[in-house]
Structure 1
Amino acid sequence: MSTIRNLAALAVLGLAQAETIGFGPHFSLGPTSSWIREANTTLVLPEVPSPQQDRLALWPGMGTSGGDLIQALAVSFSDPSANCGATAGQWCTWASTLQGEQLGGKQVPANAGDEVNMHYKYNDETSKFDQTVSINGEVVSTLSTKSGQAQGWGTAVECQAEACDGTAAAHEYLDTTIILNAADSSFKDTLAIEEATSSGLKTSDNGKTWTVDSIKIQSHTYNL
């Protein structure tokens, strides 16, 4: 089973109340024969869907050996003010982990064009994954969860309910870095990509550190 299908299955578990759930384009890696110690990427936010409907989510996620889904989120809501104090046309973004229930840090507004950095790092002292979400270089949301070992990493474009009859705009992830606990030269062979292009997956240390300069996710129209 591909990483994106694993991540999607985890996401659905936490969203059973939604009438409809769908997934669009993706770039995903895993599982690795090692485990992921650290992952870092920057999402350049596109325009929100028009009209804004509940709900469309963009996220890079990591499925873990503990059955968790570490997934910092950028979400377009029909009423963004009620969720994070945002105004029409803005996103809500925050650090989040699906762990049976959806755990989250502070939710904050973000604009199209903002660069949202989503950083996940395993903390040896606490045995937790620490999440840090920054907007244009300023830390805005954090979360730490004991989630086991991360096995794969992938991007997602997820619709729920009314947003599954709409269009998600094209967007881009910049400067993605994934650091494994030990080298896995076959990690590149796990890549699954759909409705997306990239600058290419590279390693300079025989498979412990993997980088992608650019991941471009295409526009996607749902009809579910």
Structure 2
Amino acid sequence: MHYAYISIPLTLALGATASMPADSWVFGNSLFYLGPPTGASITKATYSLVPPDVPSGVKVSKPSDQVWVSVWVGASSTNGDQNANLYQPLLNWSPDQESQGCSANNTEWCVAASTYTPDGQIGQTYVPVPPKTNLDFEISVENNKVYQAVTMNGQVVSQQSDALDNGLKYLYSSNECYTGSGNCGVLQGYKITNLTVTLSAADESFGKTMALYSSTDAGFATTDNGKTWYTDYVATQEIDFDSSSDASVQE
């Protein structure tokens, strides 16, 4: 499986596209984008997410060339350099889950700790997620390693550690689709809740770096003079991956 790694601001700046061609990566335009801090790096990010219903209106022409949709929050040292790691626990769905290495049925999402590296994607085995199940995520830095953990019903179901390539400066979300031989359909809006970001040193201006694209939040604030930042939620909008007003093709 392939996961594109892009600069979100660049993708949005490309504007609407006339069509969503086959075998292309399409990115929804409802997301948050955070960073960089001044004189500090991101040492920990935690958040929760109840996956939305699986995408609707998806059609596939060739079973050997499947559509898949991915929802993620990722942390990186850069804002889109493909030569840098992106630590991105993944929620993934496909009409044919087995083709993506997941034992879930097509009414469920799959989840796994995962990291994009310049040498390819490194990820754990997908775990099925029953509908309406809350997931807790953690991305943290310790001893020059980045640790990911996904917790479901109080149990850690997926975890991974990778080398830290450089200090983490950016945290952002994405809704991504690979069109395969079909179309990506409609993804419902959802909330990323209890988003907490810890910095290596206080930055009282860090909250000003929170950018919201076709999404809203409850206010991103600190109670300890800039070292720890929190919002109750970031709420994304419904995305029609087949509409150029909601999504853009990666160039």
- Please indicate the TM-score interval, normalised by the length of the shorter structure: 0.7 to 0.9
Counterpart AA for 2:212: I
Structure with higher Rg: it is: 2
Unmatched tracts of structure 2, length 5 or more:
1-5, 13-21, 60-66, 245-251
* Partner of residue 26, structure 1: 31
Cα pair 2:58 2:183 within 8 Å, conserved: no
2:106 to 69, 78, 88: 88
Unmatched tracts of structure 1, length 5 or more:
9-17
Q: SS state of the match for residue 189, structure 1?
A: helix
The answer on 1:200 being equivalent to 2:205 is no
* Partner of residue 122, structure 1: 141
The answer on 1:75 being equivalent to 2:92 is yes
List 4+ stretches of structure 1 deviating above 6 A.
none
In 1, the alpha carbon distance for the partners of 2:212 and 2:23 equals: 27
For residues 45-91 of structure 1, the C-alpha deviation after alignment (integer angstroms, 9 at most, x for no partner) is 11001245621111011112571101000011121134211112111
Q: Give 1:183 shift.
A: 0.8
The answer on 1:56 being equivalent to 2:69 is yes
**Could you say if the C-alpha distance between residues 195 and 139 of structure 1 is closer, same or farther in structure 2, counting changes exceeding 3 Å?**
same
* Partner of residue 39, structure 1: 45
Counterpart AA for 2:96: D
* Partner of residue 230, structure 2: 211
Cα RMSD, aligned residues only: 2.2
Counterpart AA for 2:75: M
Q: SS state of the match for residue 88, structure 1?
A: coil
Across the two proteins, how many residue pairs are aligned to each other? 212
Given the two structures, how large is their TM-score scaled by the length of structure 1?
A: 0.87
Q: What percentage of residue pairs aligned between the two structures are identical?
A: 31
Cα pair 1:28 1:155 within 8 Å, conserved: yes
In 1, the alpha carbon distance for the partners of 2:94 and 2:7 equals: 27
In 2, the alpha carbon distance for the partners of 1:134 and 1:80 equals: 21
Given the two structures, how large is their TM-score scaled by the length of structure 2?
A: 0.78
In 2, the alpha carbon distance for the partners of 1:197 and 1:150 equals: 24
Q: Give 1:41 shift.
A: 0.5
Q: Give 1:161 shift.
A: 1.4
In 1, the alpha carbon distance for the partners of 2:87 and 2:129 equals: 20
* Partner of residue 169, structure 2: 151
> Which has a greater percent of helix?
1
